[in-house]
Chain A
Amino acid sequence: MKLELRGITKRFGSLVANDHIDLTVAPGQIHALLGENGAGKTTLMNVLYGLTRPDEGEILLDGQAREFRSPADAIGAGIGMVHQHFMLVPVFTVTENVTLGVERTRWPGLLDRRRARREVRELSQRYGLNVNPDAYVENLPVGVQQRVEIIKALLREANVLILDEPTAVLTPGETEDLFRIMRELKAGGRSIIFISHKLREVQAIADTITVIRRGSVVGQRPPTATGSELASLMVGRPVELRVHKEPARPGAVVLDADGLTVPDDQGNPAVKDLSLQVHAGEIVGIAGVQGNGQTELCEALVGLRPVGAGRLRLDGDDISRQTTRQRLAGGMGYIPEDRTEDGLVGDFPVADNIILDVYHRAPYARGIALDLGQVDSTAVSRVSEFDIRTTSVQAPTSTLSGGNQQKVILAREIGRDLRVLVASQPTRGLDVGSIEFVHRRIVEQRDQGVAVLIISSELDEIYALADRIAVMYEGRITGIRPPTVPVAELGLLMTGADGGPAGEPAGTEAPAGTEAQQLYVPQPAEQEAPPAPPGDGHD
């Protein structure tokens, strides 16, 4: 099925999320949509999937104009979508999830579980998805859940499959599996729209790359285009893809976790007997797929979650039982992974958010009152120091862009003298400019002798920043490696394997910087379903 988008325009108030976007996806093509967060990729796909109505423009399938009022319309027209956040009911089985909405029934209206199960199994086998139809989704690894989503689309006979940032939650190994599946789907004549902001993945899998910036298509390139070309197209200016930093000069141990065990909300240990030391003047990066205890570890470090067992020391003092305020006073800084939820009070002005952790101290507090003048002047100087783009320090923080919100958090956290900085997903969802800014500031902190702990599920970020890389899997550190470790080895560690140096494929050596970095997804070695050679497979 040939899919054409013509002049799609979507406005949200004064913001033009999509500005006359034209896009043609040929049958059997993997078409990558490359763009930064907020460039309008997801809006465009929501339009295509019937979740959002466009203000202008039309959608054509095989030359016929179609109108999608709801996802049901889009599904009916053969469009399937795998959302970034999976749309699966955790307590349902794979079969129940897949058939939800298109249930197979038998007399007198009961669910025909046997038939549904058989269909799921057939699809799973045909595309090598390897999914057990009777497994409960909550027990499945993320990679498998994603395949359940794919089966869901296939059962609805999707000819065009939209994958929205599908690799964000995957380990390198799982990404490799996904790419193999994508190639098989392509060989079966289905088109795939692959949304991503990761250059290397796009280059590896796409037949054609369409780059979107600020709601407009800014170019179309073959996958042979160089990384820097694509990056500058995506950002709109030449981009420095590597972080400049001198070798670390680590000092004494500042943060010392010793046999740390932390329970999750259900009371099961999310962090298990974890020991890790961070020295002054070094950045330790914790790599790993989300949901392996990183969140709980962070919260335990900062004091938002009780430590079940083990010790936590800051400069040798036991802080395991200290309150969050005591820890902050002891020199801990914290950049939470979800800035809108845990990092900021959205309705508060920028100024209030900047002093949110020191409002009770001089010079901001005077007796029981706040010195508003002092608050304002501090805020004004921080805003200029951190280049926070806001109309005023009194503007509600929620009106700022993601990058500027993150700068507010940075201004608050590293505006005071730190001993240790804990940063979780510090650049998630930010544009390239803001990423550069945040990274530079973090490295600056390190150079001033702060012990920095970065938790990130983006391997690029870990490679760019870390002086030592610790990999977390199921609540444990499965290995600590220097930043020269090959990606394949990290990938193994991220799946719990012991990750010895043996068996790593050639060509996956980690490079010094992102730009020169090779694909961590090796080209497939299988004989069947040979992928079209990059560059000439598209039309």
Chain B
Amino acid sequence: MIEMIASLGRNTLARLEALGRSGLFLFHSIVAVPRFRSGFPLLVKQLYSVGVLSLIIIIVSGLFIGMVLSLQGYTILVDYGSEQAVGQMVALSLVRELSPVVTALLFAGRAGSALTAEIGLMKATEQLASMEMIGVDPLRRIVAPRFWAGFISLPILSMIFSVVGVWGGLLVGVDWLGVYEGSFWANMQASVDFGEDVLNGIIKAIVFGFVVTWIAVFQGYDCIPTSEGISHATTKTVVYSSLAVLGLDFLLTALMFGDL
């Protein structure tokens, strides 16, 4: 019993310590905003590998999720004779909820794990240490561009996800199931509000981008530099960021839409 309580305490302390370390780490990397001249090419490179290379998975998933939403929504709504509301249903669920959340989850799996593995491997092969010895802060040179790239990419990916999803919904709803296109758009535009829905969705994506990239780069930087440690850190990135995204999503939704 005593042993159990002690181990609980030990665990809590270790967690708190890791949290503190990651906070400090984040502070140092954010303070290390890349200087424009030398930092910009690094940022572009990371935007490419983090953002551009994630496009395919985002577009394909967005398309399918939009199509499924449209199909499911239609079969329910048609019972009430309001199948023209399918556009509004697809758009609202995408913009408010699914785009930021699904994008963040996919992003954690696709880009987050890659970031962790890359930084972890750099640590294991002493690249980070040798960079430090050359007199270059790896937080500034390695971590900061990756962090900013993730932070910038996720909202963009999420917006693209929304648009592609609505297009998928349009394909299924209008072209296949025969909902009148005019009412599809009109219903959507009448119910989706820019400030309330679109902007809140983007804010969610920004928050998720921050958290997911933070977790990914920290896990890489903090990993035990062995092959086992890296694989463990990669797993942790995906698990922690998925949990964080889902938990934060509830919190943000309650804050944004809770009083409606």
Q: Tell me if chain B binds chain A.
A: no
Residue numbers of B with Cβ under 8 A of A are: none
